[in-house]
Amino acid sequence: MTSVDTRPAGVAGDRARPRTAARPGRPGGLLSRARGGLPTLVFLAPMLVVFGVFSWLPIGRAVVMSFQRTNLVADPVFVGVANFQQVFADPLLWTAVQNTAYFAALALVFGYPIPLVAAVLMSEVRKMRGLFSALAYLPVVVPPVVAVLLWKLFYDAGEDGVFNTILGWVGLGPFAWLQESDIVMPALVLEATWAAAGGTVIIYLAALTGVDPSLYEAAEIDGGGVWRKVWHITLPQLRGILLVTFILQIIGTVQVFLEPFLFTDGGPANRTLTLLLLIYRYAFTNSLGGDYGAAAALSLMLAVVLTAFSVLYFRLTRSWSNA
């Protein structure tokens, strides 16, 4: 008579399968828990060293210098917060703050929507889209110094200047673009927008490829025009990208230096003096060694303000960006 094993299959199988000895536990440190362990850190080590030496080390050195009186020639002297007090007492600080805010506001009003409009228009083009994309990105390829020197020729105040010649055809001008205090800042913003918009256009074009075409088809069936499709489909789909490019534009424009430095050197009458140009003056106006302590103090203040603004911005827009 055959006996039947009435135990659960798992129990009966325990006797049939030999038990394997438990593997000895490995050290529970960070290296063993990290994916890849030691080989990953070996590959990361060169990048971490380069990043630390060329990024974090200068930042730490600047923080130390902000509390010192130094010109990098004589021995530094610890002065506490005297550099910060000196910067706050400088009347040019508030002029630079106002000019920087004015530049950032103009760049935001004119420079922020232009790449988006250009990207939407190019996304609607069926032929030669690659050519238009290349033309839009071309200003980014031009070296910034070369671009500024080229635009200085365009801004020639004489009647034979490029822009004055074009405006002369319709009976306008000539204008002293870089010498008149009322129009010099918009002139700088125009060149800066031309130079930087191409990169943002490419970002928007790449993001538009991820928008479901069926949404536009449904909008067309419902009789929606271009404006309705942009407002109700394109902008909501690009919400996350728009938030990132917005904060990046603000950070970039607040740190504007090249255009005021090469176009006007802060003139006329300090109307284009920006924060970074003021930092440059603190550090390099004296051939025997500038006031690097004051320059580092203003740099640290600007970094703290931008960091606080960025944190507050992302906190306020977190729910909207994830909606």
* Sign of the dihedral defined by the CA atoms of residues 211, 216, 219, 225, in that order: positive
What is the CATH superfamily name and number for domain 81-321? MetI-like (1.10.3720.10)
**What is the mean predicted confidence (pLDDT) over 42-63?**
90
* Sign of the dihedral defined by the CA atoms of residues 48, 49, 55, 61, in that order: positive
pLDDT tens track for 268-296: 999 999 999 999 999 888 666 678 999 99
On whether the CB atoms of residues 289 and 309 are closer than 8 A, the answer is no
* Residue-range domain boundaries for the chain: 81-321
Alpha helix ranges (H) inside the chain: 9-16, 30-33, 38-51, 57-65, 82-89, 91-106, 113-124, 129-141, 144-154, 162-168, 184-208, 213-221, 226-229, 235-237, 239-254, 258-259, 275-284, 292-321
**Bridging pattern class, strands 77-78 and 68-69:** antiparallel
What token pair was written down for 256?
A: 């504007």
pLDDT tens track for 218-277: 887 877 777 888 888 888 888 888 888 999 999 999 999 999 999 999 989 999 999 999
On whether the CB atoms of residues 66 and 84 are closer than 8 A, the answer is yes
Measure the CA–CA gap between 303 and 255, rounded to whole angstroms. 10
Q: What are the φ and ψ backbone dihedral angles of 221, each rounded to 5 degrees? A: -60, -35
Measure the CA–CA gap between 212 and 90, rounded to whole angstroms. 54
